[in-house]
Structure 1
Amino acid sequence: MSIAQAHAALTAPGQMLEIETVMIEGRPVKAWKHAPPSLAHVFAAGRGHGDKIFLVNEDERVSFEAFARATLQLAEHFKGLGLAKGDRVAVIMRNLPEWPVAFFAAALCGAIVTPLNAWWTGAELEFALGDSGTRFVVIDGERLSRLSEHLGSLPGIEAVLVARGDGQETADPRVSALEDVIGTPHGWAALPDRSLGEIMLQPEDEATLFYTSGTTGKPKGALGTHRNIVSNIMASACSGARAYLRRGEMPPVPDPAGPQKATLLSVPFFHATGCHAVLSPSLFAGAKLVLMRKWEPLEAMRLIEAERVTGCGGVPTIAWQIIEHPDRHRFDLSSLETVSYGGAPSAPELVRQIKAVFPKAMPGNGWGMTETSATFTSHVGEDYEHRPDSCGPAVPVCELQVRDPDGRVLPPGAVGELFGYGPNVVKGYWNRPEANAETFVDGWVRTGDLARLDEEGFCFILDRAKDMLIRGGENIYCVEVESALYEHPAVMDAALVGRPHRTLGEEPVAFVTLAPGADASALELQAHVAARLAAFKVPVAVMLQAEPLPRNANGKILKRDLKALLEA
């Protein structure tokens, strides 16, 4: 059965994955007919799973009902603070049970939830909070210590709720403990039983503001709607069902009484993948999320065994480290049904290793970006084994095109820039009209990726048109790091390039020429960047050059020459 035939069978009238055409901003868009209309509907479906365990974090085990009670309690508190529809509520914390509580509590109030990168420095957080016009912040103690000195520069913030602050003091009267509102996860099940009430949210209402790095060096907020986000729920179901049809089998009917699905979450909630492609589908379907404070392969294998985890992955790093760990044989990992990842380049040999090590597990890969609200293509099972260098075909409601520099659509096999269209493409960037005009064209998003499509629609990402590299799933825009290097008085020339890394995909390496008579060591320049940017952006090596960096006739640094130096 071809991809087109499988998609046609799954999305036919009367099927759960039926597709309809809706008008969004005056344009016809294919959408999932039976998808939950909003995050409030996702929340209501999740509460229906009752006493099943939803969140596991060390010794904390939170049921779906306990999660719902904490969420509604916080939503009521937000309303008491005057939170109105369209207000921005920032969530800044590592993966903790409080993260999805804060996210859904704000979403239920009609707020635009603004998750910020927990790796960011205080200055980076200050920029996004000011740029978004955030009114309320929910933050953990570790992030508060980073942000405290910047709060004075953010008069628009009216309240800051701190989770796990350990009693740390701050002179700012806006700061209070989240535990004073909802208590700790151990006690959420005993919170008052509140009603959700009538759901007033609509599919095209604005729901999230996820910041993504920009080529100007300043992050841009991608404004997503409820429809953008919930599209992932049906896309996930479709991908698994398609794999069965492609091998000539009927997809199994979900059994509510069967063993609970469980995902080991090792990617952050503050990324579109963790939030849209994992959190919302898990809540909707009643799957358990097992959180990790920090990725560590030995602890990951212990959790897979103890919690009977059925799915893990996130970025290729995670799969590699489990496969190659010398103590893997000590753990029962037979519960794994899928090992999937995206967000970074991956070696085709990885899929073969997954099948060899986990014969009962389906390998999976996919492609998406913040601007597509996570999943745009999916690649699972035998299709992935046969085309390990592809990220798969677009999900049925989405469309891909490859275009030349003049905007002409190219035929299969030709290489050009990848464009995407579908119900998951965000409305645009927050207060960035010039960036919107450049990136969003008649509802299509310019991805900045160079790609080709084969005759069946499988997508092959070949390179990035944007000057960006991806380190273990984290985007690093080179200009941002280069700008930080240029702030050092000794630096005359600076360029960042990616060096291939077997598990992280690639890692940043800087080439630097110092000004005549100036002196600075590689370690000093790394520390200089570390003081200004998140740790994952700091170059792993600084290559000091005696001569100016190579340039073309227009004065542009020739990064391909620098990459050749690395390869040599």
Structure 2
Amino acid sequence: MSEVYGPGELAPIPDDLSIVQFMHDHHHSTRPVPKDFAPWFIEEETGRQIGYEDVKTRTNALAQALHARWGIGELQICIFSPNHVDYPIVTWAAFRLGAIISAANPAYTADELVYQLSATHAKLLVVHPWNLAAGRAAAQAVGLPAARIVLLERVPHAGLVTLAELVAAGAAVPRTFVERALRPGEGRTKLAFLSFSSGTTGLPKAVQIPHFSLIANVVQIASFAKTDPHPPKEHRYRPGDVSMAVLPFYHIYGQVINMHFMPFYGYSVVIIPKFDFLGMLNSIQRYRINFLPVVPPMIVALCKHPAVQKYDLSSVRHIASGAAPLSSELTLQLAKVLPNASVGQGYGMTETCTAISFPQIDMHICTPGSAGVLLPGVVVRVVREDGALAPVGETGELVVYSPSNAVGYLNNDEATRETFRDGWVHTGDEVYVNEKKELFVVDRIKDLIKVKGFQVAPPELEGHILELPDVSDVCVVGVADEYSGEVPRAFVVPSAGAQERIKGSADEAQRIKDTIIKHIADHKVHYKRLAGGVEFIDAVPKNPSGKILRRILRDRTRAAQAASASKAKL
């Protein structure tokens, strides 16, 4: 097999527009309806509908206020918030001025936010009241004054400016800011987002995503949607339908698909601040939601939670899973629970500015186990260990060219050279592609652990665990988990002193394990916790050069889990 090209024709992608200009001011050939065809967003709690004119007016007013108050231009703005109806407004207002958005996980501790603020040199922090304490602590730690913190909603006696106040101030005066205009071709290099990812190895890195990349992915998906062979009334992607944004806007999946593609294609998006399964079921029923962009843990709950039968989910016509592999078994189980809904999955990563494949548009239940079909404009290589290109059906590392590819990591030339090579992204995923240009993910060559679709870099946890005096060495790997996909497990070599105490007390081993687990839980976001437990070993397997051989411990764990599952069936 040589290079494999995604089927279908890719529409032209403008390279002289910012994302906000593409969304608000431009009518692209793939946009099926006028921009004011349907409400863009629906506030889940109140039912408030926000249409195109409101979105544009608030965006421009906020841009005016940011310019007048702080002289915002080519600066970095960090958003530290769950999903919120004004999240897109902040993002697009920043783009009017040429600013760059860095979106932070709202579950971050103050220390984790400090890392992101420091790495991006953020000059303004937009924070939700739920995150105010951590946001304030992190801002103080990096020297960001309180005058540069904006609250998305009012908090009594907080002493901080609110977004509503800024919008009102901007709307009350004539426009004085000069919008950031892009020269032909500049959209390919002018940064829009610094989105954090662990890449193929190591600590989280800021992925540099230019305006062109996100616009390209929206155009790719829209070009793909227009290839639907069914009559218009049976199209998979239908303007006027209702989708939901429960996946976080800070994550590349929510950022591109929910915040941008959905309103671009004429969907109304119900914005849900925080995932709660019963609340999600209620929203589906209340708003008659048609399209569910989800991750595998949500599908597990849809298949197994007894409350599912108590809700009217008949409005759901399409379910697309992403961010982590969806098993064939779960795909078929979901098809039984919601027989009227088409089911499939896609594949993407932050470094490719999300999707390179999407659920097959001509199939009700997509090929079980596949990560969808390649999108227009995508070219892939499946590279064997010897560097040769694998034939159809043979596995190797997935290497991707897409117009949506990011341009590298911020201030990290070594990691950029490792992952981004001559316009191609080396994903670290082991895959194969069949004759239908369907993608199948087999395993991860890279060391990353994916918990509910979130990336966890083992070295980050290992470094933290090694701070403990009872730990001599450690290796963290991902172990299979039905709900989360994978969870971290720490294989620990106790220090000499700890080993002596363990010999003298039956309870000491458990106490040390509990201390390690608590140490991670106290300092890391919830999905990085050691849900796979701690196991003591005599030595961490390494090659002659000292590199940790994680696959040995992963394979050992998989064999033990398989043996346990077989025994349970007897």
Amino acid at match of 1:218: L
Which of 445, 454, 467 is the aligned partner of 2:434? Answer: 454
Determine whether 1:177 maps to 2:167. no
**Contact 1:239–1:379 under 8 Å retained in 2:** no
Please show how residues 185-224 of structure 1 align to structure 2 within 5 Å: 200-201=181-182, 203-204=187-188, 205-214=190-199, 217-224=202-209
Please show how residues 309-328 of structure 1 align to structure 2 within 5 Å: 309-328=289-308
Identical columns (%): 26
Q: Aligned partners of 1:5 and 1:372: how far apart in 2?
A: 16
**Shift of residue 550 of structure 1?**
4.1
Amino acid at match of 1:324: K
Corresponding position of 1:344? 324
Instruction: Show CA shifts across 1:326-346 (max 9, x none).
Output: 232332211112111111121
Q: Aligned partners of 2:80 and 2:118: how far apart in 1?
A: 14
Amino acid at match of 1:477: A
Q: Aligned partners of 1:549 and 1:56: how far apart in 2?
A: 50
**Shift of residue 102 of structure 1?**
1.0
Most deviating of 507-516 and 154-163: 154-163
Corresponding position of 1:96? 84
Instruction: Show CA shifts across 1:364-408 (max 9, x none).
Output: 211000011111111235558462112123211111111234544
Query: For the structure 1 residues 543 and 405, does the alpha-carbon distance in structure 2 shift closer, same or farther, using more than 3 Å as the test?
Result: same
Amino acid at match of 1:92: F
Instruction: Show CA shifts across 1:71-110 (max 9, x none).
Output: 2221111111344543211111011112111111111211
Matched residue of 1:428: which SS? coil
**RCO higher in 1 or 2 (8 Å CA, sep ≥ 6)?**
2
Corresponding position of 2:568? none
Please show how residues 45-84 of structure 1 align to structure 2 within 5 Å: 48-49=35-36, 52=39, 54-59=41-46, 61-64=48-51, 65-84=53-72
Which of 121, 126, 129 is the aligned partner of 2:114? Answer: 126
Corresponding position of 1:233? 218
Most deviating of 302-311 and 510-519: 510-519
Which of 515, 523, 534 is the aligned partner of 1:524? Answer: 515
Determine whether 1:40 maps to 2:25. no
**Shift of residue 354 of structure 1?**
3.0
Please show how residues 446-525 of structure 1 align to structure 2 within 5 Å: 446-518=426-498, 520-525=511-516
Matched residue of 2:489: which SS? strand
Query: For the structure 1 residues 193 and 233, does the alpha-carbon distance in structure 2 shift closer, same or farther, using more than 3 Å as the test?
Result: farther
Aligned residues: 533
Query: For the structure 1 residues 388 and 309, does the alpha-carbon distance in structure 2 shift closer, same or farther, using more than 3 Å as the test?
Result: same
Q: Aligned partners of 1:255 and 1:239: how far apart in 2?
A: 11
**Shift of residue 51 of structure 1?**
7.3
Determine whether 1:163 maps to 2:152. yes
**Shift of residue 224 of structure 1?**
0.9
Please show how residues 276-425 of structure 1 align to structure 2 within 5 Å: 276-381=256-361, 383=363, 385=365, 387-405=367-385, 407-425=387-405
More strand per residue: 1
**Shift of residue 198 of structure 1?**
6.9
Query: For the structure 1 residues 472 and 193, does the alpha-carbon distance in structure 2 shift closer, same or farther, using more than 3 Å as the test?
Result: farther
**Contact 1:319–1:339 under 8 Å retained in 2:** no
Which of 135, 151, 158 is the aligned partner of 1:147? Answer: 135
Unmatched 5+ residue regions in structure 1? 12-16, 21-31
Query: For the structure 1 residues 415 and 75, does the alpha-carbon distance in structure 2 shift closer, same or farther, using more than 3 Å as the test?
Result: same
Amino acid at match of 2:153: R
Which of 97, 114, 119 is the aligned partner of 2:102? Answer: 114
**Shift of residue 495 of structure 1?**
1.6
**Contact 2:302–2:334 under 8 Å retained in 1:** no
Matched residue of 1:531: which SS? helix
Amino acid at match of 2:529: V
Unmatched 5+ residue regions in structure 2? 28-33, 499-507, 564-570
Most deviating of 39-48 and 490-499: 39-48
Instruction: Show CA shifts across 1:391-436 (max 9, x none).
Output: 1232111111112345443322232211111210011111111111
Query: For the structure 1 residues 407 and 148, does the alpha-carbon distance in structure 2 shift closer, same or farther, using more than 3 Å as the test?
Result: same
Alpha-carbon RMSD:
3.2
**Shift of residue 253 of structure 1?**
9.6
Query: For the structure 1 residues 471 and 444, does the alpha-carbon distance in structure 2 shift closer, same or farther, using more than 3 Å as the test?
Result: same
Q: Aligned partners of 1:87 and 1:167: how far apart in 2?
A: 29
Q: Aligned partners of 1:515 and 1:260: how far apart in 2?
A: 62
Query: For the structure 1 residues 134 and 499, does the alpha-carbon distance in structure 2 shift closer, same or farther, using more than 3 Å as the test?
Result: same
**Contact 2:78–2:104 under 8 Å retained in 1:** yes
**Shift of residue 271 of structure 1?**
0.6
Q: Aligned partners of 1:134 and 1:196: how far apart in 2?
A: 21
**Shift of residue 454 of structure 1?**
2.0
TM-score by length of 1: 0.85
**Shift of residue 532 of structure 1?**
2.2
